[in-house]
Structure 1
Amino acid sequence: MASNDRAFDARYSQARSALRGELVAVLVLGVLLLVVLVVLQWYLARRFHRILNPGVLGATVCTLLAVLLGAQVISASAGHLRVARHDAFDSVVALSRARAIAYDANADESRYLLDPERRGRYERAFLEKSQQLYGLRGATLTSYDAELATTWQAYRADRRDLRFTGEFRRELDNITFAGEQSAAEETVEAYAVYERDDRRIRALLAAGKEREAVEFCMGWEAGTSNAHFGAWMTALDKVTDINRQHFTTSVRDGRSAVTEQLPGGCALLLAAMALTCLGLRPRFAEFR
């Protein structure tokens, strides 16, 4: 995912630079063409003692509309590109990382039960992945749940509160679309339930209730750890889908802005050429 993100970011930077260059070119060439038409109108009025040439005037209006339309199309494309890259895809990256980390953490939890000789290693790995998802500085497995609850309550009171980090924070700092805020918050709350389940598993094991710990960890009945993990993944997929749908929509709208409006701009420029020729034709006839 990281390599795809870097590749996409490089393409995005190239596309953004290209759009900036195209916008400058449209504006500069458009202004030059308008200046030429205005000077031509002035010359015809002075040379032939007429106030306005209707053909050249129509060409000027068409050119102005073509320039405005071209600038609008490029600006709209840049806007759709920004939404696709930053508003949508940045969230998809964070949430996809979260999903991969979640499955690794869940596997570490199972290994903790099944491999007694390496329990310390898997416990540390689980905590490390928890910190990648919802980072709490200095937290241990013993203090993690309480600190998560405290910092989450603070965030719900003030969304500018910065006492936690991680992939969930990346998503929560990039809320853009309708329904995304509530879906992201539901994901974190489902994650908190799963984290509390982990502590219950470890407590059962410490109390010598290994069979109960295994059943609670690996069963899929309602109220078990795996059931809560599934609910967490469902919530995570929901907020990911919101961003993916908007990414797809932004890409489609960006392409539509070009394919649907560009022919209109070309038609206006062709009309400007035709009107200029029609406007000059009577004047050329006077030289015969």
Structure 2
Amino acid sequence: MPARLRWASALCAVLALALGGVLYATTTGARDTWDQITRHEAPQVTDAGALYQALTDLDAQAANQLMFGDDLRLTTNLATARQQYATDRTDADRDLQQATLDASGNAAAQTALAAILDGMGRYQDLAARALELDSHANATAGHPDPAALADYRQATDLMRQQLLPAAHSLVQANDQAFEQSYGDERRGLDTAGLWFALLGGGLLVAVVGTQIWLAVRFRRVVSPALAAAGVLVVVLLSTAGSFLGGEGQDLSTARKDAYDSVVALTQARAIVADSNAAESRYVLDVGRRAQYQADFVTDTDQVLSLDGAGLDTYDSALATAVARLKENPSDVGFGGEYGREFRNITFPGEREAATHTLLAFQAYQVDDRKIRALVTSGRLEDAIAYCTSLAPGGSNADFDAHDTALQSLIGINEKAYAAASATGAHRADSALWLQLGCVAGVLALVGLGAAPRLREFR
């Protein structure tokens, strides 16, 4: 009988220690995952997106400067473009340095960075030479110096064929690393749940079984210590289940609900900036207007695609889609990055911000058709003035309004991501000591419950 009691106590202890080991591994693993996500992987995606954005706007501002020429009426616009060009160049250099530091251990990111580093210096040299040649030639608005235009064509081809695809690949590589960590942790939580059920259930059965056996063999109704141990096991299982469920929910909120939208919207912002550059190139370079119009259409479809809509029917199709969406928020009749966002509306204020962004995008698209109509009718100077106008209703003013609305929408999702990450990390920290304390309590109580009976055999 004492040997059996020792074996029963030992079984409870082994199960409790095994459960404690799983609890420790799960909580520390969750904490490490949150550290990896919040300190490395999510910032890496953000840094790559910022680089993508800076590169697209850099080329747009180079095109704008060439487009303005030495027209005195556009002096203010020229100064603004020069200032923004300098800012974009500084931002791109800083983001590139940060992305280089971030890329350690990520082969796909390193490959993308190598392509950017290889082309960045050459792009800046070509763009700088084009701007200098055009300035010295005193070219008029919309009629750039031929040599300057030739250099700019090389620069923008390099941007679109090498730098921007590499920047996009960099975003994807970092985002895939984030997704990998998310998937690994979700699978880890699922596995931990299975072990919790097996070990915790086994421990509860062992403690209750020992209690029943003692009651029968020793004519005692209940052992207070073992009863308390059983209650503590139930508490432990309850807190572990709550921990697993909460961690899984916070991971899903941070990654799927929030950061999936952050990635989609950040890419949309960069692509819209590239479409703005394609619009400027269309006005600037008569020899490549068909190519740059096609680039604008491609960019627009990546941001918000409408089945079967061409440039001549896009506005009416978008107006119909917007009207249907207002009537029924679940009727998302478009694809692209904005389609991804509207199918992932989750947080308070997000739908209103997304709708505001959509309407601003719609206004910017209408402006584009006005610009092309002015160019087609031979009113090139008017097209340039409207294309770069910051006055209310001007194309650049509407572009900025859309960009502001889009950043606000991104901010809602970034805030939700930060909140879920903070909650998940805090839960992992607090759960570790609570759960290990419960395990230690079970061990102590099992020992206290068995010790008096064992002493009876001495």
What's the CA shift for 1:268? 1.4
Alignment of 1:119-138 (within 5 A): 119-138=289-308
Cα displacement string for residues 180-222 of structure 1 (whole angstroms, at most 9, x for unaligned residues): 0000010010001100111111111222221111011123233
**Structure 1 contact 105–126 (Cα < 8 Å) conserved:** yes
Q: 231-240 or 271-280, which moves further after superposition? A: 271-280
Q: How far apart, in 1, do the equivalents of 2:435 and 2:241 lie?
A: 10
Contact 1:95 1:236 in 2 (8 A): yes
Q: What corresponds to 1:193 in structure 2?
A: 363
Match of 1:25 among 195, 202, 214: 195
Greater displacement, 127-136 / 226-235: 127-136
1:24: Cα distance to partner?
Answer: 1.1
Higher relative contact order (CA 8 A, sep 6+): 1
Aligned-residue sequence identity (percent) comes to: 38
The partner residue of 1:156 within 323, 326, 330 is: 326
Separation of aligned partners in 1, 2:305 and 2:195: 47
**Distance between the aligned counterparts of 1:70 and 1:266, measured in 2?**
11
* Aligned position for 1:234: 404
Which amino acid letter does the alignment assign opposite residue 279 of structure 1?
Answer: G
Equivalences, count: 288
Q: Secondary structure at the match of 1:159?
A: coil
- Give the partner amino acid of 1:123: Q
The structure 1 segments of at least 4 consecutive aligned residues displaced by more than 3 Å after TM superposition are none
- Note if contact 1:27-1:71 (Cα within 8 Å) is conserved in structure 2: no
Deviation readout 1:150-177 (Å, 9 max, x if unpaired)? 1110121122324321111110000000
- Counterpart check, 1:144 vs 2:314: yes
Deviations 1:245-287 (A, max 9, x none): 1111111111111111221111112111112222222212211
Deviation at 1:67, TM superposition (A): 1.4
Q: 1:37 aligns with which of 207, 231, 235?
A: 207
Q: CA RMSD in A?
A: 1.2
- Structure 2 unpaired stretches of 5+: 1-170
Q: For residues 88 and 122 of structure 1, what CA distance do their matches in structure 2 show?
A: 34
Equivalence for 2:391:
221
**What is the one-letter code of the residue matched to 1:237?**
Q
State the distance in 1 between where 2:415 and 2:361 align: 23
- The answer on whether the counterparts of 2:332 and 2:343 sit within 8 Å (CA) in structure 1 is no
Cα deviation code 1:79-102 (max 9, x no counterpart): 100111110111111101101110
Q: Secondary structure at the match of 1:10?
A: helix
Secondary structure, in 3 states, of the residue corresponding to 2:312? helix
Match of 1:89 in 2: 259
Partner residue, 1:118: 288
Instruction: Answer yes or no: is 1:68 the counterpart of 2:238.
Output: yes
Within the alignment, does 1:265 sit opposite 2:265 as a pair? no
1:79 partner amino acid = Q
- Quick one: which amino acid aligns to residue 172 of structure 1? F
Amino acid at match of 1:76: G
CA distance in 2, matches of 1:125, 1:218: 19
Counterparts of 1:197 and 1:240, CA distance in 2: 24
Superposed displacement of residue 235, structure 1 = 0.5
User: Which residue matches 1:48?
Assistant: 218
Question: How high is the TM-score relative to the length of structure 1?
Answer: 0.97
Query: In 1, distance between residues paired with 2:377 and 2:348?
Result: 46
Relative to structure 2, which stretch is displaced further, 110-119 or 9-18? 9-18
Residue identity opposite 1:122 in structure 2: Y
Letter matched to residue 173 of structure 1: R
Mean Cα deviation higher: 201-210 or 49-58: 201-210
